[in-house]
A and B are shown apart, each in its own frame.
Chain A
Amino acid sequence: MSILVKATNIVSPLGFSTEENFSKILAGNSGVKLRDRKDLSPQPLHLALIDENSLNSAFASVVGEDKGYTRFEKIGLLSLSYLLHDKDIDLASADTLFILSTTKGNIELLEPAATAGQAKGDQAAACAKIEDIVQKGGIDNRDNHAATDKGPVVTTCADKTISQYPERLHLWHTAQLFANHFGFTTKPLVISNACISGLAAMVLATRMIKAGLYRRAVILGADAISRFIVSGFQSFMSLSASGCMPFDARRDGLNLGEGAASILLEAGDAMEGDIELVRGAMHNDANHISGPSRTGEGLFLAIRDALEGARPDLISAHGTATPYNDNMESIAVSRSGLNDVPVNSLKGYFGHTLGAAGLLEAIISIESMKAGVGIGTRGFEEYGVSEQINVIRDNFKHEINSVLKLASGFGGSNAAVLIRKNV
């Protein structure tokens, strides 16, 4: 029995389908642009942002009425709608698992009292004044939720301000909102494990299906850019002054991006050409909460457990273009004896999409396997990491039958997933 990839979708600044995203990056387009957005940052910044008008018009035609959804909810609902729209599957069955992977969910709703109400348009009504939440005694939804066998009843967003319904800041609540929209009846699983969340969701789904607990899984990985996130990364001095340069000698930080990626997985027997998730693992460095291990220990262990001796044709690195991350990855890849395997980073095309990143980049890697074209590392010119690994600068035509996808994140987290094409 294999875990087969049945369908995928990507909603990013480059487009709203997997195909469109793949063809755009094949043609050398990037979603990262210099943006002057005073609502996000006092200074102009390189960001990958989804165009508001395109998002709203696609949402109206594909999802339906905007019931006061947040930007995060919109990109998530849109991606899942595209993924599921023509699939003849029973989403309500007890065999179907839904997983949400995100780092910050609806954090855009949390605005300091001083700026609440100055936000753009409809958002103003939706913004939580922190003091309101705190004075109100916080989030207590016992009144709004009649508990049922299926768990809590979730409030919809129509005409509800966040200060009335602050549980919208809770990720389990957002997951339930998505689940209700599409009619999933099993309890959603929510993973919030920093930048490895998307890969962790793939590993979790693989393990749960292999154990016979479900027959299929729908995973959504999503995060939206907000001032909360931008200001935090700025405070860490981890944002690049230009387009990011993964593995390059002059790299000076990352670009933030937003987007959603979704995937439909099913148990079945692999036919020729089918893509399957083989296995994966998550390991902690147990070293430092905001910096990677000097020896790449956690990532090395994750690679070991994901490969179990196999050799991938391509490594899709996390490659954020921060000095420490890329160097640590070169150490872990080298320690794993994979120095000659082609390595790329897709962050120059999408930016760092946080809770979506692992899944989004895995989906692009799946397209690489189907097309027999590896994507080069945009922004990489001059070699700049301590260990000699095979970082690919330009797109290359080659048969790619297996990809090792990597991710690392705050909290010392690391993950690796092996994806294979059946030949």
Chain B
Amino acid sequence: METVRYLSIKDNAVLCDGKEVLYLPGEDFPSFAKTLYKESGAEYPKFYKMSDMCKLGFLAAEFLLKDLDEVKVADPDQKALVLGCRASSLHADIEYSRTMNDIPSPALFVYTLANIVSGEIAIRHCFRGEELMLVQDGPESREHENYLKVLMAEGKTKFCISGFVDYDENGKYIAELSLIKKK
């Protein structure tokens, strides 16, 4: 397997293969995300309804796959997602639970699962292959890497987005995604 591209979003910056492509100091995540969305050129109104964790993952995938035509034309059933996170959907959980005693909000509840971010990316880029959401204590996980290798060795996956998308209860965020290709 080979890494086609590596993309990270953290500390108000977007880095592609380690090179800074965008830096917006001083903006909080919601306004930073809005700017990134406009920069990405995605015309996808559903973006505005997403939880912050999903916005983060969505944007990271948007920049990761930009202009990669070979991924676009690949068989959807062979495009996989293996993601990890640390705080699951805790930030969205807290937002939802504030509505719990009054009128519980279905629009917020739908985002109270760790794997919804995978679903949003899958829908946006038509990834119908293998899928898994792991909860890890940080971005680096040997077990995650091992599983990725095992999955790619099975041979049913041509492209895989693997990485870490975390938006914690304090609004601290990090996304690190790699696009992996079967050799």
Partners in one complex: yes
Residue ranges of A at the interface with B (Cβ–Cβ < 8 Å):
103-105, 107, 110-112, 114-115, 130, 133-134, 137-139, 151-152, 166, 169-173, 175-176, 187, 189-194, 200, 204, 207-208, 211, 213, 227-228, 231-232, 234-236, 281-290, 297-298, 301, 305, 409-413
A413 to chain B, nearest CB (A): 6
The docked-state distance in angstroms from the alpha carbon of A305 to that of B134 is: 21
Q: Is the CB of B153 within 8 A of A301?
A: no
A310 to chain B, nearest CB (A): 17
Q: Is the CB of B88 within 8 A of A171?
A: yes
The docked-state distance in angstroms from the alpha carbon of A133 to that of B154 is: 43
Contact of A234 among B76, B104, B110 (CB under 8 A): B104
User: Which residue of chain B lies nearest to A233 when distances are taken between CB atoms in the complex?
Assistant: B109
Is B113 part of the binding interface, using a Cβ–Cβ cutoff of 8 Å? yes
Contact of A232 among B88, B109, B114 (CB under 8 A): B109
Is B150 part of the binding interface, using a Cβ–Cβ cutoff of 8 Å? yes
The interface residues of chain A lying within 8 Å CB-to-CB of B122 are: 284-286, 412
Q: Which of B16-24, B26-34, B135-143 contacts A (4 or more CB under 8 A)?
A: B135-143
User: Which residue of chain A lies nearest to B156 when distances are taken between CB atoms in the complex?
Assistant: A305
Q: Is the CB of A193 within 8 A of B153?
A: no
The interface residues of chain A lying within 8 Å CB-to-CB of B131 are: 193, 282-284, 413
B80 to chain A, nearest CB (A): 9
The interface residues of chain A lying within 8 Å CB-to-CB of B150 are: 207-208, 211, 213
Q: Is the CB of B100 within 8 A of A133?
A: no
The interface residues of chain A lying within 8 Å CB-to-CB of B62 are: none
Taking CB atoms and an 8 Å cut-off, the chain B residues in 119-150 that contact chain A are 119-120, 122-123, 125-137, 141-143, 146-147, 149-150
Question: Would you call the interface of chain A mostly helix, strand, loop, or mixed?
Answer: mixed
A25 to chain B, nearest CB (A): 28
Convert B95-119 into 0s and 1s, putting 1 for each residue whose CB lies closer than 8 angstroms to a CB of A.
0111011011110011011111011
The interface residues of chain B lying within 8 Å CB-to-CB of A301 are: 77, 128
User: Given A284-B81, A411-B118, A412-B119, A111–B97 Cβ distance below 8 Å?
Assistant: yes
The interface residues of chain B lying within 8 Å CB-to-CB of A192 are: 88, 113-115, 133-135
B28 to chain A, nearest CB (A): 15
User: Given A110-B93, A112-B100, A192-B88, A289–B120 Cβ distance below 8 Å?
Assistant: yes
User: Which residue of chain A lies nearest to B137 when distances are taken between CB atoms in the complex?
Assistant: A172
Contact of B128 among A139, A283, A289 (CB under 8 A): A283
3 closest cross-chain pairs (CB), A and B: A411-B119, A138-B170, A190-B135
Kindly name the residue among B87, B105, B122, B142 whose own CB sees the greatest number of chain A CB atoms within 10 A.
B122
The docked-state distance in angstroms from the alpha carbon of A168 to that of B91 is: 14
Q: Is the CB of B143 within 8 A of A187?
A: yes
Q: Is the CB of A286 within 8 A of B151?
A: no
The interface residues of chain A lying within 8 Å CB-to-CB of B116 are: 289, 410-411
The interface residues of chain A lying within 8 Å CB-to-CB of B119 are: 284, 289, 410-413
User: Which residue of chain A lies nearest to B76 when distances are taken between CB atoms in the complex?
Assistant: A286
User: Which residue of chain B lies nearest to A412 when distances are taken between CB atoms in the complex?
Assistant: B119
User: Given A110-B93, A115-B101, A194-B113, A134–B170 Cβ distance below 8 Å?
Assistant: yes
The docked-state distance in angstroms from the alpha carbon of A379 to that of B153 is: 43
Is B169 part of the binding interface, using a Cβ–Cβ cutoff of 8 Å? yes
The docked-state distance in angstroms from the alpha carbon of A175 to that of B125 is: 32
